[in-house]
Amino acid sequence: MENGGALLVAAGDDYATPQSIANTLLAPVLPAQPTGRLIERAFKAHLSVDGLKHPVTRGLAGSANAAGDSTQPTWGQWFRQVDVQNARGRNLMTGLEERPLLVLDRKGKGRVALLASDQAWLWARGYDGGGPHTDLLRRLAHWLMKEPDLEEERLLVSSKGLKLTIERRTMEENVRPVTMSEPGGQTTTLDLEKAGPGLWRSTFDVKTPGLYKLQTPSSAGGLTAVALAGVDDPKEMSEVVATDAKMKPIADATGGGVFWTRGNGLLSSSTGVDVPRISMLADARVLAGNGWLGLKDREAFVTKGVKVTPMFTGFAALAGLLALIALAWWREGR
C-alpha cells in the first residue's frame, strides 16, 4: 500500500467481529475502524457533501441532485451495514443513522477504499429497482488505479474554433483564478464560474490561433492544461489523400515531372522505394523522363580568387629530378 498498491474492502459482518482484518497488520491502512456493531435494517445509501463533488460518485444514476436535497435516491435498498468510526480521508456515502458507508483514503503512495456493506450485489440483481452497481465499482477500481479522469483535483480545457472551455474539478469550496499563457507570450488571469458541486466552468473567446497553456494552484499542487485554438477545418486537413493533381500542371509547364517513390499507389511496391535516376543538365528544356529526373545546372558560383602552390621547389625539386634520372638510367641499363 505505502509503495503504491491499492486495496478495496467490501465489509461484511465479519468486519465487526474479533476476527476482522481491522485486527491484523492491515489495520494501519484501513480508512475506518469497526465499532463491533452490525446494523441490520433497510436503508438507502445517500451521497454526502463530499460524495456530490468526488468524481467516483458525482452524477451516479439515481442519486440526489444536490447537498441537502430532500429527494430520496431512486436506487434500491440495502439491509446490512457495519458501523465504523475514526474515518479518515473522504466519506462519499452515508447509510443508516448517517454513518459512513463509503470511505476513500490515501496511504503513502497507495490508495484504499472501504465500503461498509457487502450488499452492493442487490443493485446488480435489480432488487427494489437496483442501482448503479457497475458504475460505482468500475469508478472505484479506476480511482484505485489512479485513473486521471477520476482525480479529485483537475484542470481541463477544450477548444472549438477560437473558444476555450475551461473546467476545474475540485473538492474545495472555492477555486483560485486560472493563468492563461497566450501564443505571443502574454498572460491573462481568468475567473471561473461554479457549474455544480465540485465543478467550475467558463468559456472564453481568444483572438489568436495557437497553443494556449493554463495553470492554477491547488491543494494537490500546480495544475496545468494545454489546448490548441484555431480554425475547425484548416486547409491542410481538408484533403489528406496524396495526389499529383496539384503539382502536375506546374511540372508540365516547366518541363519537369512528378515521381512517386512507390509504384502504382501506396504500399504497392514489394521491392522498396523507387527513386528516379538524377542527372545534371545545363541547357535542356525537358528535365524529366522515364525513370530519370534532371536538375538544371545553373553554374551559379563565383570565383573569389585562385592560389597556385607548386608541389616541389628548390632542393626538393632537384632531388626528385635526380632520382627520376637515376631510375631511368637504371631501367635503360637493364
The pLDDT tens digits for 49-81 are: 999 999 999 989 988 654 444 568 899 999 999
- Range of lowest pLDDT (94-98, 116-120, 194-198, 309-313): 309-313
Three-state DSSP state, 113:
strand
What is the residue-averaged pLDDT of the chain?
A: 87
- Residue 266 in domain: no
Q: Where are the beta strands (DSSP E) in the chain?
A: 6-10, 33-39, 46-47, 81-85, 90-94, 100-107, 110-115, 154-160, 163-169, 178-181, 187-190, 193-196, 199-205, 210-216, 223-229, 277-281, 288-289, 292-296
153-208 pLDDT tens trace: 999 999 988 899 999 999 999 999 999 999 888 999 999 999 999 999 999 999 88
Question: Strand 223-229 vs strand 210-216: parallel, antiparallel, or unpaired?
Answer: antiparallel
Are residues 10 and 144 part of one domain? yes
Q: In terms of residue numbers, what domain contains 106?
A: 6-149
> CB atoms < 10 A from the CB of 87, how many?
17
Cα 228 from Cα 164, distance rounded (Å): 9
Q: Last residue of a domain, which of 126, 149, 172?
A: 149
Task: Please report, for the domain that includes residue 183, its CATH number.
Answer: 2.60.40.1930
Are residues 166 and 60 part of one domain? no
Are residues 48 and 83 part of one domain? yes
**Which residues neighbour 106 within 8 Å (Cβ) at sequence distance 6 or greater?**
89, 112
> CB atoms < 10 A from the CB of 44, how many?
17
Are residues 160 and 77 part of one domain? no
CA-wise closest residue to 55 among 89, 30, 92: 92
CA-wise closest residue to 229 among 270, 178, 195, 184: 184
Question: What pLDDT shows up at residue 252?
Answer: 87
Question: What pLDDT shows up at residue 66?
Answer: 42
Write the DSSP symbol of residue 66: S
Task: Please report, for the domain that includes residue 54, its CATH number.
Answer: 3.40.50.880
Are residues 87 and 180 part of one domain? no
Given a cut of 80, whether residue 17 has pLDDT beyond it is yes
| Count of domains forming the chain | 2
Q: Last residue of a domain, which of 149, 172, 187?
A: 149
Are residues 42 and 169 part of one domain? no
**Mean pLDDT calculated for residue range 33-40:** 93
Are residues 116 and 11 part of one domain? yes
278-317 pLDDT tens trace: 888 888 888 888 888 888 887 788 888 888 877 667 777 8
Cα 220 from Cα 51, distance rounded (Å): 18
Cα 228 from Cα 115, distance rounded (Å): 41
Are residues 120 and 42 part of one domain? yes
Q: Last residue of a domain, which of 101, 119, 149?
A: 149
DSSP 170-192: -SSSS-PPEEEE-TTS-EEEE--
Are residues 123 and 163 part of one domain? no
- Residue 334 in domain: no
Are residues 190 and 130 part of one domain? no
Cα 174 from Cα 273, distance rounded (Å): 60
Cα 16 from Cα 80, distance rounded (Å): 12
